[in-house]
Amino acid sequence: MRIEVNKNILASNASAAGKNRERLRRHGVFMVNLMASPGAGKTSAIIKAIERAPELKMAVIEGDIASEVDSLIIEAMGVTALQINTGGSCHLTALMITSALNYLDLDLLDLIVIENVGNLVCPAEFDLGETARVMIASIAEGDDKPHKYPLMFRQVDLVLLNKIDLLPYCDFDLPRFRQVVTTLNPAAPILELSCKEDSGVARWGEWLTGATAANRAAPAAD
């Protein structure tokens, strides 16, 4: 006997993501899903955001396969950090974020930054209920990454190009990188920065502050 099913395999994640998004909207909280390969500078970019936008009431959700290394660094800066250990899974799912949100007082927050598991493949497929998606590429990874991971580059709202101080030492074709990213995603700005040298990071802080304020203003119309 044949049974017609026609059920979306990612429906359970999509449904949880939708609930997360609605919960955040009710509280006027802006949530960023920060994605990058391992070592591109996700934690460093969060540290710079905390330094450059101290007026934002922020919490951080750290996703890693194992360890509390990152959340301890963020907590040491006086910012609430929740650590999710995926225990081998290569990406965060919407339900993991649902659980994490239970531990936060959303009325006291403007911004949540999720540091996704270091990976350019799977995180692009799983909606977490975020308000915006930001990815970090870094000079040492090479300029061909948009060719190899087009889905990731296609669906983000902002691209941070970190470790720009390494440009003289690497065979990184900056105009080519910019051209390919713009072809894939004409709407996403590309910000060049170096977390290590503390250069270009002011614009990252401004982007976060501006987007958080715009989000805060939006639900009032509802």
Partner 1 sequence: MHEYSVTENIIAIVQDEATRAGAARVGSINIILGELSTFSGQSIEFYFGELSRGTVAEGALLNFINLPAKAVCLECGSRFEPRHAFYACPDCGSPMFDIKQGQEMFVESIEVD
Whichever of 90 and 140 has its CB closer to partner 1, that residue is 90
CB of 53 to partner 1, least distance (A): 31
Binding mask 58-97 for partner 1 (x = CB under 8 A): ------------------------------xxxx-x----
**Whose Cβ is closer to partner 1: residue 3's or residue 221's?**
3
174 binds partner 1, rule: CB under 8 A: no
Whether 165 and 199 have beta carbons less than 8 Å apart is answered as yes
Report the amino acid identity of residue 32: V
Q: Does 221 bind partner 1 (CB under 8 A)?
A: no
**The two three-digit tokens of residue 114, written as one number:** 């999720």
CB of 87 to partner 1, least distance (A): 10
Under the criterion CB under 8 A, does residue 190 sit at the interface with partner 1? no
Among the listed residues 137, 153, 157, 155, the one whose alpha carbon sits nearest the alpha carbon of residue 211 = 157
Question: Computed over its alpha carbons, how large is the radius of gyration of the chain?
Answer: 18
Q: Does 4 bind partner 1 (CB under 8 A)?
A: yes
Give least dist CB 142 to partner 1, A.
17
CA–CA distance, 213 with 161 (Å, rounded to integer):
24
Stretch that binds partner 1, among 1-9, 37-45, 68-76, 167-175 (CB under 8 A): 1-9
Distance CA 71, CA 171 (A): 33
**DSSP label at 91?**
S
d(CA 212, CA 118): 24
The span from the CA of 91 to the CA of 42, in Å, is 15
Minimum CB separation of residue 145 from partner 1 in Å reads 13
Q: Is 14 in the site for partner 1 (CB under 8 A)?
A: no
φ, ψ for residue 159 (rounded to 5)? -115, 125
- Identified binder of partner 1 from the candidate list 66, 151, 214, 217, rule CB under 8 A: 151
Chain Cα centroid distance, residue 212: 14
Among 183, 189, 197, 210, binds partner 1 (CB under 8 A): 183
Q: Which residues are registered as beta bridge partners of 136? A: 36, 160
Please report, as ranges, the residues that interact with partner 1 according to CB under 8 A: 1-13, 88-91, 93, 121-122, 124-125, 147, 150-151, 154, 183-184, 186
